[in-house]
Amino acid sequence: MRVIHWAAIGLLVMLNGCATTPSPEPRELVYQAPAEDTFRAAVSLMIEQGYVVRHADVSLGRAEGVLARWPGYRLLLDVGEMGSESYVSVSAWRGSQPLPPDRLDPWLVALQSRLGLAP
C-alpha cells in the first residue's frame, strides 16, 4: 500500500511540473513619452498586428493580447511612469514556451516609431 501511496505522490509531482508555464524574461525599454500615451500606442500596435487584447487597464498600465496564429502567441505589456518618461516591459510566449527577450526588439522598435521617437 505504501508503494501505491508514493507512486501517486510522484505522479502528482510530475503532472504539476508539466502544468506550469515557464516565465519569460521581459524586454525593457524607456521611452521619452508620457506613460499613458505609450500605453495607448502599444495597445493600438497590438491590435494592428492582429492580437486580441484580452485585458487592458490604462490605470494599471497592463495589457495582455493573444494571437491565434499557430502555435499561439501571448504578449504581456507593462507600462509605468518614470517622471515624464515611460518604462515599458514586454514579454511573450509562443505556445507554452517563453520567447527570448531579443525577439521582442522589432515590436519595441515599431512602438518607438509609432510614438514618433524613431531616429
Please give the grid coordinates belonging to residue 64: 495582455
User: How confident is the model at residue 14, as a pLDDT?
Assistant: 59
Q: Judging by DSSP bridges, how do beta strands 85-94 and 27-31 pair with one another?
A: antiparallel
Q: What is the per-residue pLDDT for 62? A: 98
More confident position, 92 or 15: 92
Stated length of the chain: 119
Contact 29, 102 (CB under 8 A): no
Domain ranges, ordered by start, for the chain:
22-114
Check whether domain 22-114 has CATH 3.30.530.50, yes or no: yes
Q: For 17-33, what is each residue's pLDDT tens digit?
A: 555 668 889 999 999 99
Contact between 107 and 45 (Cβ < 8 Å): yes
Q: Report pTM.
A: 0.80
Q: What is the pLDDT of residue 13?
A: 55
How confident is the model over 77-104, as pLDDT tens digits? 999 999 999 999 999 999 999 999 999 9
